[in-house]
Amino acid sequence: METLTLTRPDDWHLHLRDGTALQAVLPHTARQFARAIVMPNLKPPVTTVADAAAYRDRIVAALPAGSDFTPLMTLYLTDATSPDEVRRAKDSGFVHAVKLYPAGATTNSAAGVTDLRHCWPTLETMQAIGLPLLIHGEVTDPAVDLFDRERVFIDEQLIPLRAAFPALRVVFEHITTREAADYVTDCDGAGTTRAPTIAATITAHHLLYSRNALFAGGLRPHWYCLPVLKRETHRLALVEAATSGRSCFFLGTDSAPHARRLKESACCGAGAFTAFHAIELYAEAFERAGRLDRLEAFASFFGADFYGLERNRATITIERAAWTIPHELPFGDDRLVPLDAGGVLQWKLAA
């Protein structure tokens, strides 16, 4: 196979930042993807429909001329988010989900939820109106080992949450462990008549790399993200889930740009920038698994179906052509290092 044409994909988990950073990274996503779920963890966070509308306007204004990319907005859940606000979100037509960051879990999460019980009335409303909850699934207890935080979150937070709100539609974001893949597989309702209420996004970097990549030849900050890369056994479980053809797993890059000077610093920011070469990275992962024929459904169909949106009609084509990932890219007044800079990929998005 020398070329592969896919229904134009969507990115169901994306960080675009704001200002000059937004202007720098948005074109990379817009040339590959038709739509993207845009994360709300700005400073200050996007907590209201009015905030989301203003952010959406800034994204649209930053698009390259002629682009038909559509940002799908989200709200940042806080202890104080009201049921009325999520009703307004649902009614807006452009806010498609609410994002749960446990306070302190990742970049710009200080305003996140301190205790899910504070959000019970709002979650009950979201369940009733069908507005999905997107979950960064890690506990923040410092006594819990960093590599166990996702597994512990499932037991301590996710299982009780879904028992309390069984009809709440949940996306378990950027899963990184066998336990998460197994949990979503066991709960997705495949083969039953009930509508699915849980799904998961999987990043390209968690499909391609284990935690060894963080330490190959030294400490490599551009591979540092949250949740962190895990053991090889977990990577293999994610590959099996992503390439299984199960509709509960779909593409979400979690592309998270940080200026080079902030990654290569005493306190490295968490995030891998993959928007520049996202579809090529996923093609690499699926081909290595011998399941390139299943990439289209994972990238282009399953996410749209879960969110109740029409599948895209346009297409993109990738072609077999070895190329080298740039060592850095412009990022406003700074520079940005894409994941695996200097590495070679075997597929390239056709012009």
Tell me, yes or no, whether 156 lies in a domain.
yes
Q: What is the pLDDT of residue 242?
A: 98
Tell me, yes or no, whether 347 lies in a domain.
no
Tell me, yes or no, whether 141 lies in a domain.
yes
254 an active-site residue?
yes
- Cα 240 to its chain centre, rounded Å, is 18
Where residue 226 sits, what CATH number does that domain have?
3.20.20.140
Tell me, yes or no, whether 332 lies in a domain.
no
Tell me, yes or no, whether 340 lies in a domain.
no
What residue numbers bound the domain in which 157 lies?
A: 10-313
Supply the pTM of this predicted model: 0.96
User: Using CA atoms, how far apart are residues 105 and 140, in angstroms rounded to an integer?
Assistant: 6
Tell me, yes or no, whether 84 lies in a domain.
yes
pLDDT tens across 56-89, in order? Answer: 999 999 999 999 999 999 999 999 999 999 999 9
Among residues 18, 254, 293, 305, which one is catalytic?
Answer: 254
pLDDT tens across 248-270, in order? Answer: 999 999 999 999 999 999 999 99
Tell me, yes or no, whether 336 lies in a domain.
no
Q: Is the pLDDT of residue 155 over 90?
A: yes
What is the sign, positive or negative, of the torsion defined by CA atoms of 338, 251, 64, 5? positive
pLDDT tens across 201-251, in order? Answer: 999 999 999 999 999 999 999 999 999 999 999 999 999 999 999 999 999
Confidence of residue 193 (pLDDT cuts 50, 70, 90): low
- Overall domain count for the chain: 1
Contacts 24+ apart (CB under 8 A), 291-297: 291/243, 292/1, 292/4, 294/243, 294/244, 294/245, 295/4, 295/6, 296/6, 296/7, 296/9, 297/245, 297/247
| 3-state SS, one letter per residue, for 311-327 | CCCCEEEEEEEEEECCC
Q: Where are the beta strands (DSSP E) in the chain?
A: 3-7, 11-14, 35-38, 70-76, 95-100, 133-135, 170-172, 198-202, 249-251, 315-324, 329-331, 334-336, 344-349
Tell me, yes or no, whether 256 lies in a domain.
yes
Rounded mean pLDDT of the chain?
A: 96
Percent of the chain predicted with pLDDT > 70:
98
